[in-house]
Amino acid sequence: MLKEFKKFILTGNVLDLAIAVILAGAVGLVVKGFVGDIMMPVVGHFAGGMDFAELKIILTTAVEPVMAADGTTVITEAVKENAIMWGKWVNALINLVIVGFVLFMMVKAANKAKKKQEEAPAAPAGPTKEEVLLGEIRDLLKK
């Protein structure tokens, strides 16, 4: 069973998948940093310095508890704010567009590099040993 597991783990597909997952995580961090640290400040600048993450529609306002003068009796209970955070959703949409564009550009560059490799003409190879032997047999048969 251990030998079968070792054979399974060391196959090319499993190793390729593991490497792809690790690289995807690293690329994800790079893209997230690019979007959050470079692109979103630019978008915020052109939006008048607005941070979209703070935009919301408040459904229930927050209420802080109020203590009585003696410090023990609570006059009102605490209520958390309930709001529709539509600004975070806008940030997510902008993030999606930017990530999609960055990935599109990466795939386009990779395809361009791959196309250049395919277009490179292969050096003309001389005849193989089998071709030379077949040529000699043909010439002997002609005689």
Rg (alpha carbons) of the chain, rounded to whole number: 33
Torsion of CA 91, 96, 99, 102, to 10 degrees: -110
Residue range 2-21: mean pLDDT, rounded: 79
Residue range 47-72: mean pLDDT, rounded: 79
What mean pLDDT value characterizes the chain? 81
CA distances from 54 to 31, 57, 83, 141 (A): 22, 10, 11, 89
Pick from 90, 88, 60, 64: nearest CA to 75: 64
The structural domains of the chain, with segments of one domain joined by +, span 2-116
Tokens of 23: 């690289």
User: By percentage, how much of the chain surpasses pLDDT 90?
Assistant: 4
pLDDT at 15: 74
Q: Which residue has the higher pLDDT, 141 or 115?
A: 141
User: By percentage, how much of the chain surpasses pLDDT 70?
Assistant: 92
pLDDT at 46: 82
pLDDT at 121: 65
Separation CA 138–CA 131 (nearest Å):
10
84 forms beta bridges with 57
Instruction: Examine the pLDDT at 122 and tell me if it is beyond 70.
Output: no
Instruction: Examine the pLDDT at 89 and tell me if it is beyond 80.
Output: yes
pTM (two decimals): 0.50
Reported as a pLDDT band with limits 50, 70 and 90, residue 73 is low
**CATH class of domain segment(s) 2-116:** mainly alpha
